Chains A and B, each alone.
Chain A
């Protein structure tokens, strides 16, 4: 009997030690296929891989909401950025605001992105990158290249 007890005790302590050292919490965020679809975008940049990545971002927001988890940092902003590049300013600004709401500490950057997107809409310009560049250049920080 005592041998049995001893074995049990040893087993139990082994298991408890194992579970202490390997204590894994449930992940804080749902990231879905994010890194895979982003990797594909880098490997084969184009409309097709971008559409997939966009879908992955949408799904993260959808799933996180469904599971009552906080949306991972940067995801709303990144999706907004994709919409902005596709000239859907309304949706873009909505998403930048959503990022700001979830993470108030992102306000400075989000406000920059929102005003950039608004500027673009006001000028009624349709091409993406050039304007982005100008908007950013206007806000250029002065210390660039300072020694």
Chain B
């Protein structure tokens, strides 16, 4: 009896130690340490900028843009209605984040009342074909800049890689090629959108919460994995 309980105790201790080790995987940092300016400035209103597209998919930009506002709102910020603000910017001749970058961010405070502006860059939005598998990759860099100080308040990356090949049960080389062609043909733009959303979620994991979130100003010690874009 005593032996068994000692055994039990050691197993539990081991399990806890294991969990702690796994939980503190390399390069885990806290929101408070990494993004102190977020807690100093506590921006409330965020203006989403037209995305910058560095991927090979020309229409990725428009589709990706439809996913940002909804997801960002769950972090507790006031997010300006993108359909309206993008229109206004377009009428001003600004439809591209590259053009936006030349404008002092303070202008967006004056015109919209934005505390911060969100720049997003589509790094990857593509399929890659290999002999044995094909993968779909969506990768997004996000950066929040203060309209007060023009400083970067927060930045992070979200990447989703999906293996499209699935299980290949026989069929030889011809079968493999056929299935690769099928996946390519089936991967319409629509199929990217859920992954773009996932990539957004991933990118936002390190973003401190805003005023409307119940954990506003209490998430400094929340950990995340360091993958800030260099």
Contact = CB atoms under 8 A, between A and B. Distances in A.
Given A6-B4, A105-B78, A13 B12 contact: yes
Interface in B83-113: 83-85, 87-88, 91-93, 102-104, 107, 110-113
Interface of B: 1, 4-5, 8, 11-12, 15-16, 19, 23, 44-45, 62-63, 66-67, 69-70, 73-74, 76-85, 87-88, 91-93, 102-104, 107, 110-113, 189-190, 193, 197, 212-214
13 contacts: A6-B12, A9-B12, A21-B23, A28-B213, A34-B70, A38-B66, A38-B83, A39-B63, A43-B189, A133-B91, A143-B103, A144-B103, A146-B104
Interface string A1-44: 01101100110011001000100010111010011001100110
Sorted nearest first, the 4 A-B pairs with minimum C-beta distance are A74-B81, A108-B113, A6-B8, A77-B81
A28 B112 contact: no
Secondary structure of the B side of the interface? Answer: helix
Nearest to B193: A39
A137 interface: yes
Question: Which applies to chain A's interface (DSSP): helix, strand, loop or mixed?
Answer: helix
Contacts of A72: 70, 73
B65 to A, nearest CB: 8
Interface of A: 2-3, 5-6, 9-10, 13-14, 17, 21, 25, 27-29, 31, 34-35, 38-39, 42-43, 70, 72-75, 77-78, 81, 103, 105-109, 113, 132-133, 136-137, 140-141, 143-147
Contacts of A3: 4, 8
A35 B91 contact: no
Contacts of B113: 105-109
A131 to B, nearest CB: 11
A72 B77 CA distance: 10
Contacts of A81: 81, 83-84, 87
